[in-house]
Amino acid sequence: MNNSSMEVATIGGGCFWCVEALLQQLKGVEKIVSGYSGGTVPGKPTYREVCSGLTGHAEVVQVTFDPKIISYKDLLLVFLTSHDPTTLNKQGGDVGTQYRSVIFYHNDHQKKDAEEAIKELKPYYSDPIVTEVSAAQTFHEAEEYHQDYYRNNTTQGYCSAVITPKLAKFRKIHAEKLA
């Protein structure tokens, strides 16, 4: 793949282990890095600091993808339908601002696509979509042990109880988009 044709998406929807595991399945996704963004404190935060809820950062993934294979808007539609975008600062048992549903756009085109994707999905939810759409801020790569977490820890409790069932459902719903 020609790297100059790649685009970057920065999104969060609960625990980054789960978002990473799901989006790694998609055609056109070249790389995913788990990290933190959207915070208000200076410097690079640690996982423990982000989990305290005091930094303002969200757990996010930065996705490098080929827009000729999957468009940014299609990536967002998959993302928005793979978590609950109607719950504020919560996904399942994960609660706190670090687990908020968020799209950090990198340009005006991405902002427009994010707004359109949310508008397109609104009729399918009984509650309002609360996904935050904000300009991209500094992305801080998470600690190494968070990268490829599900692939490296499939039998870990959270992975087997939360991610594995979610991944099975994801594969059924988005089968045509899987690598």
Q: At what angle do helices 72-80 and 108-121 cross, to 10 degrees?
A: 40
Q: Output the six-digit token pair for 19.
A: 């978002």
119-124: long-range pairs with CB below 8 Å, 24+: 120/77, 121/77, 121/80, 121/81, 121/85
18 is annotated as an active-site residue: no
Residue 110: CA atoms inside 13 Å, Cβ hemisphere, count? 19
How far apart CA 148 and CA 161 sit, in angstroms, is 17
Query: Other C-beta atoms within 10 Å of 96: how many?
Result: 15
The residue annotated as part of the active site, out of 15, 18, 51, 159, is: 15
What residues have CB less than 8 Å from 94, skipping those under 6 apart?
14, 15
Residues annotated catalytic, as ranges: 15
